[in-house]
A and B are shown apart, each in its own frame.
Chain A
Amino acid sequence: NAGVTQTPKFRVLKTGQSMTLLCAQDMNHEYMYWYRQDPGMGLRLIHYSVGEGTTAKGEVPDGYNVSRLKKQNFLLGLESAAPSQTSVYFCASSRILGEQYFGPGTRLTVT
């Protein structure tokens, strides 16, 4: 099993550009999450999903959109990137009750 994978690993965007981050899990987990981590800080939850076709806002949802069209995939979109969105983005998945498994992260720089 690959676990949780994230695509891409690195990306540089210019202000105003858009992009989509892909998260995939092969553990048949119901829950999936997107976090961001700024330098020297803990993780902050952006959006999460409790099942296919459902999404919900986390602590810092502004400027991001998500979709969960398939159970195994969770997409994070930035419609108009801003320098404040420069961060490392982590995806995670979990069973309804249980520990979260994290991906390796995507390092995004917005110039």
Chain B
Amino acid sequence: DAKTTQPTSMDCAEGRAANLPCNHSTISGNEYVYWYRQIHSQGPQYIIHGLKNNETNEMASLIITEDRKSSTLILPHATLRDTAVYYCIVIDNYGQNFVFGPGTRLSVLP
């Protein structure tokens, strides 16, 4: 059973913030939310992860709702190079079985 649900596709204008939602209503207390992206046919690239608190790094911000049932990945100023498939994954501290669902195909438009 899929642990996460994401929209199939989204568009975003270049220079604007891209907000990618993810629902994980069955998440357990010890499970983290991870985000990866896959550009064209390359290997997936780690973006960010979090447990409860919002997180920010040089690539993106992760906003997790207080009940932890959903999260949003924010790319603050999307560029054409951010066009990719974005995967939201839920996994616990000791789990190795990352399940990559279909993800969200983000198209950044000029």
Which A residues have a C-beta under 8 Å from some C-beta of B?
4, 31, 33, 35, 41-45, 48, 50, 56, 58-59, 88, 90, 92, 97, 99-105
Which stretch (B16-24, B60-68, B74-82, B94-102) binds chain A? B94-102
Closest 9 CB pairs of A and B: A102-B43, A99-B46, A42-B100, A43-B100, A42-B101, A102-B44, A48-B96, A90-B43, A42-B102
List 7 additional A-B contacts (Cβ < 8 Å) besides A42-B100, A100-B44, A105-B42.
A31-B96, A33-B96, A35-B100, A42-B101, A88-B41, A97-B93, A102-B45
| Total residues of chain B contacting the partner, CB 8 A | 19
Chain A at the B interface: mostly helix, strand, loop or mixed? strand
Contact between B96 and A90, CB atoms less than 8 A apart: no
Contact between B44 and A90, CB atoms less than 8 A apart: yes
Which B residues have a C-beta under 8 Å from some C-beta of A?
34, 36, 41-46, 49, 87, 93, 96-103
Task: Report how far A101 CA is from B47 CA in the complex, Å.
Answer: 11
Residues on the A chain within 8 Å of B100, using CB: 35, 42-44
Q: A41-B102, A42-B102, A42-B103 are in contact. Are A101 and B97 (CB under 8 A)?
A: no
Task: Report how far A101 CA is from B49 CA in the complex, Å.
Answer: 14
Contact between B103 and A105, CB atoms less than 8 A apart: no
Closest to B85 in A: A42
Task: Report how far A59 CA is from B101 CA in the complex, Å.
Answer: 13
A34 to chain B, nearest CB (A): 12
Contact between A45 and B43, CB atoms less than 8 A apart: no
B102 to chain A, nearest CB (A): 5
Q: A45-B98, A50-B96 are in contact. Are A99 and B43 (CB under 8 A)?
A: no
Residues on the A chain within 8 Å of B97, using CB: 45, 48, 58-59
Closest to A32 in B: B96
B105 to chain A, nearest CB (A): 10
Closest to A91 in B: B43
Contact between A99 and B34, CB atoms less than 8 A apart: yes
B47 to chain A, nearest CB (A): 9
